[in-house]
Copies of this chain bind each other. A is one copy, B any other.
Amino acid sequence: MYNAPNSDGTVGKAMQVLDQVASFQRPVRFSELLANSPFPKPTLYRFVQTLTNQGMLTFDAERQTYSMGIRLVSLAHSAWRHSSLAPVARPYIEDLAAKVGEAVHLAQLDNGHVLFVDKCKVSDHFETLAQAGKIAPGYCTGVGKAILAFMPEAEQKKALDQQSYAACTPFTLTNRAALVLELEKVKTVGVAYDREEHEQGIISIACPILTRQSRVLGAVSIATSTNRYQIEDLENQRPNLLKAANLIGTEAELWQFPTWS
């Protein structure tokens, strides 16, 4: 997903290795990495060593396995605090979650994929950290469609090319044409719906977070289960959702001008 067609140098390759380790979702041995690696043995070996030195990976000497290093957690702390909408949006999504009594998601788009940067659910607050950082496809989620619909055309085109259009559920839009049509509707209506397109039984209403210049920063959504509500019920929350998105948008804008206005 990140491995650009033409890599940029040694650093790019190292990042590729990082991704690879991450993709295993568990501690991994050198030989396992090697088996799925485009790099020859000594090259991969050096990368892994370097990354370990740097704290981007950690090596368990007992088990001879590598996993993601905690330096990443600390770098990401910084990223989250200073490059995501989450810190400014926090009070608003909390508020919204409390008001509607359902899960509220906050997302940004990252290379065509929806990155959940925060989540707020009244019933169990502690799911938060586990969810922030999660990645989902853009073409079949409410937040994804909301962001895509409001992107500048050139960027949108690029992002649309990156979607897989795999059928997550029977309701998923599985081709680009259908998605484009849907996005047009989203743009005129102002909100996007996820009608069980990503996960069966889960629906959501999402709207983009825009600056005053109509640049899309991210999206907020209210998600719920079909056991409890239907799309029509979510529709009732639309004013609340729009208000929250609007507040976040204006505040984020202010926050982007720290000293020099």
Residues of A within 8 A of B (CB): 2, 4, 8-12, 14-15, 18-19, 22, 25-27, 47, 49-51, 53-56, 58-63, 65, 67-84, 86-87, 90, 94, 108, 110-111, 115, 117-118, 120, 125-126, 128-130, 132-135, 256-260
Contacts and interface: CB of A to CB of B under 8 A. Distances in A.
Contact of A58 (B25, B51, B83): B83
A90 B159 CA distance: 36
A178 to B, nearest CB: 27
A78 B22 contact: yes
Given A9-B50, A10-B9, A258-B63, A129 B86 contact: yes
Given A12-B50, A77-B133, A87-B130, A108 B56 contact: no
Nearest to A25: B82
Contacts of A115: 70, 73-74
Contact of A125 (B2, B126, B259): B126
A82 B10 contact: no
Given A11-B14, A75-B76, A129 B129 contact: yes
A83 B67 contact: yes
